[in-house]
């Protein structure tokens, strides 16, 4: 159903909207005022229609931070309860995944514990932490990130901002996510918002070198969270994904153009904003599927497949837990080490986000370790891997990590953790 600024006729039939609150897209949906019971039912029935008639198994709830609803029993809570009840009736798993920039763990906290009871949420903090480590960008909300300790906290907890002061917002932001399960966070290095809301819509392929792309892919796909890939990311799509529209109202077209210019002001990006209403802006966003048969794109696609295979086949990686995990960060070197374990299996991942090689002593449990990932190997389009195929740790080992390297090693022997 159209709910945008054009072609939206719902208000002609019932009080679906309210002028008491405003959103970036216009009047807010009436979830708490007079006649709001029926408005809630309309949207809940719409969700049930999708999961029942079309067998959709997950719904992403966009920008829930823009929903104004001070009701004692919120619309989101009511929606979650209705969808989960339908899932039981259908004997299926159906998930509600929230997109929110509030860093509020109550959205995914169970209803009996005082939360809203949604199933998962996107983690912008994880994205911002990774993006600022591999790029030089510190404008806009990126000014809140850029430290390896930020990514370390994202791995340990989920949120980076869990109540501390945000320079970008000029206030404290977020609450604790320590008790939120790892399986309730969706992480990514790119998505439609983070790419489409850039001035030129550049993907990471246009911003960082090829070896850094593999490092970022490894950090996302081998994380203890739910990984998300942006369309074409897996084979290194280079087409920009720029904001495009197809409106008919000249006034609205001009308002969108001015709004985009205002939105980019905080980032101080250089260049001319692509016209959202120009058809060529849309045409440029189309994927180049033939890239999958070219190099190095084909290698990158195979590398993603290998990471997914490892994630599914190795117990320590398929076990999504923030408790069976240890994170060590070297701020001055931009190096992160993540050790994960499950039953007899252990995996250690070492990531160098700097553009120069680093020599470090790493503390590892004793035993024999076997290499499972070296992003710089020639078979993955790198200059040649230098990670040892096997080694025995006596408690500490000293390594020289090349720039933008990601190494992973497995120990499967049931020894001490």
Domain CATH for 20: 3.20.20.80
For the stretch 363-381, pLDDT in tens is 999 999 999 999 999 999 9
Q: Which pLDDT does position 60 carry in this prediction?
A: 96
**C-beta of residue 176 within 8 angstroms of C-beta of residue 158:** no
For residue 1, being part of any structural domain is answered with no
User: Which H or E element spans position 151?
Assistant: helix 148-156
For residue 265, being part of any structural domain is answered with yes
Name the more confident of 105 and 6: 105
On whether both 236 and 340 belong to a single domain, the answer is no
- Count how many domains the chain has: 2
Question: For residues 269 and 137, what is the distance between their CA atoms, to the nearest angstrom?
Answer: 10
394 has pLDDT over 70: yes
**C-beta of residue 394 within 8 angstroms of C-beta of residue 362:** no
Instruction: Report the interhelical angle of 75-90 vs 36-53 (nearest 10°).
Output: 30
On whether both 333 and 200 belong to a single domain, the answer is no
On whether both 76 and 196 belong to a single domain, the answer is yes
26: which residues sit within 8 A by CB, 6+ positions away?
5, 17
The mean pLDDT value for 15-24 works out to 90
Q: Predicted confidence band at 27 (pLDDT cuts at 50, 70, 90)?
A: confident
For residue 264, being part of any structural domain is answered with yes
On whether both 282 and 401 belong to a single domain, the answer is no
Lowest mean pLDDT of 68-82, 122-136, 242-256, name the range.
242-256
Cα-Cα-Cα-Cα dihedral sign, residues 15, 18, 19, 20 = positive
On whether both 268 and 334 belong to a single domain, the answer is no
Task: Classify residue 184 as exposed, middle or buried by CB count within 10 Å of its CB (0-12, 13-18, 19+).
Answer: buried
User: Which H or E element spans position 95?
Assistant: strand 95-98
397: which residues sit within 8 A by CB, 6+ positions away?
361, 362, 364, 391
- Long-range pairs for 288-296 at CB < 8 Å and ≥24 separation? 288/232, 288/237, 288/238, 288/239, 291/232, 291/235, 291/236, 291/237, 291/238, 292/235, 295/381, 296/210, 296/236, 296/381
User: Per the structure block, which two tokens stand in for 416?
Assistant: 């001490």
Q: What is the largest CA-CA distance in the chain?
A: 73
Task: Classify residue 283 as exposed, middle or buried by CB count within 10 Å of its CB (0-12, 13-18, 19+).
Answer: exposed
On whether both 335 and 281 belong to a single domain, the answer is no
Structural domain harbouring 406: 318-412
For residue 300, being part of any structural domain is answered with no
270 has pLDDT over 90: no
On whether both 271 and 408 belong to a single domain, the answer is no
On whether both 45 and 159 belong to a single domain, the answer is yes
With a pLDDT cut of 70, the percent of the chain lying above it is 99
Angle at 227 between CA 225 and CA 229, to 5 degrees: 165
Question: For residues 198 and 142, what is the distance between their CA atoms, to the nearest angstrom?
Answer: 12
CATH number for 361: 2.60.40.1180
On whether both 329 and 270 belong to a single domain, the answer is no
Task: Classify residue 336 as exposed, middle or buried by CB count within 10 Å of its CB (0-12, 13-18, 19+).
Answer: buried
Q: Which pLDDT does position 1 carry in this prediction?
A: 47
**C-beta of residue 260 within 8 angstroms of C-beta of residue 243:** yes
How would you label 30-57 residue by residue, b for 16+ Cβ within 10 Å and e otherwise? bbbbeebeebbeebbeebbeebbeeeee
The mean pLDDT value for 308-315 works out to 98
On whether both 254 and 352 belong to a single domain, the answer is no
For the stretch 141-166, pLDDT in tens is 999 999 999 999 999 999 999 999 99
Q: Predicted confidence band at 360 (pLDDT cuts at 50, 70, 90)?
A: very high
The mean pLDDT value for 314-329 works out to 97
2 has pLDDT over 70: no
Q: Which residues are catalytic?
A: 62, 99
417 has pLDDT over 80: no
The mean pLDDT value for 57-82 works out to 95
For the stretch 342-353, pLDDT in tens is 999 999 999 999
pTM of the predicted structure, to 2 decimals:
0.95
Lowest mean pLDDT of 165-179, 182-196, 243-257, 332-346, name the range.
243-257
**C-beta of residue 188 within 8 angstroms of C-beta of residue 229:** yes
For the stretch 179-204, pLDDT in tens is 999 999 999 999 999 999 999 999 99
The mean pLDDT value for 264-288 works out to 89
User: Per the structure block, which two tokens stand in for 326?
Assistant: 């240890």
């Amino acid at each position: 159903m159209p709910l945008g600024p054009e072609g939206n006729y719902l208000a002609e039939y019932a009080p679906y909207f309210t002028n008491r609150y405003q959103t970036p897209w216009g009047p807010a949906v009436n979830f708490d005022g007079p006649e709001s019971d029926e408005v809630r039912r309309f949207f809940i029935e719409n969700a049930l229609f999708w999961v029942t008639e079309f067998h959709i198994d997950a719904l992403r709830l966009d920008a829930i931070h823009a929903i104004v609803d001070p009701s004692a029993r919120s619309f989101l809570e009511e929606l979650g309860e209705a969808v989960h009840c339908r899932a039981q009736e259908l004997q299926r798993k159906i998930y509600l995944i929230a997109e929110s920039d509030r860093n509020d763990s109550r959205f995914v906290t169970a209803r009996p514990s005082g939360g809203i009871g949604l199933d998962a949420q996107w983690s912008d903090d994880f994205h911002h932490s990774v993006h600022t480590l591999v790029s030089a960008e510190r404008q806009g909300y990126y000014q809140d990130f850029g430290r390896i300790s930020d990514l370390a906290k994202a791995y340990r907890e989920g949120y980076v901002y869990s109540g501390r002061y945000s320079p970008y917002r000029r206030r404290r932001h977020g609450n604790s996510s320590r008790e939120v399960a790892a399986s309730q966070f969706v992480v990514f290095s790119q998505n439609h918002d983070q790419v489409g809301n850039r001035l030129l819509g550049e993907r990471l392929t246009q911003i960082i070198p090829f070896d850094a792309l593999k490092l970022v892919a490894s950090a996302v796909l081998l994380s203890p969270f739910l990984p998300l890939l942006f369309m074409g990311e897996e084979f290194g799509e280079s087409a920009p994904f720029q904001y495009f529209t197809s409106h008919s109202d000249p006034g609205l077209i001009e308002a969108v153009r001015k709004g985009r210019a205002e939105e980019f002001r905080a980032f101080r990006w250089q260049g001319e904003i692509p016209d959202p209403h120009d058809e060529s802006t849309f045409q440029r966003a189309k994927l180049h599927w033939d890239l999958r048969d070219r190099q190095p794109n084909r290698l990158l696609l195979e590398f993603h497949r290998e990471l997914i295979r490892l994630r599914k086949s190795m117990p320590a990686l398929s076990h999504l837990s923030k408790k069976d995990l240890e994170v060590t960060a070297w701020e001055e070197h931009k190096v992160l080490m993540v050790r994960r374990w499950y039953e007899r299996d252990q995996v250690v991942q070492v990531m160098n986000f700097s553009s120069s090689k680093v020599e470090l002593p790493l503390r590892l449990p004793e035993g024999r370790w076997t290499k499972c990932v070296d992003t710089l190997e020639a078979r993955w389009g790198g200059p040649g891997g230098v990670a040892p195929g096997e080694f025995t740790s006596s408690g500490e080992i000293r390594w020289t990590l090349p720039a933008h390297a990601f190494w992973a090693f497995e120990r499967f022997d049931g020894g001490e953790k």
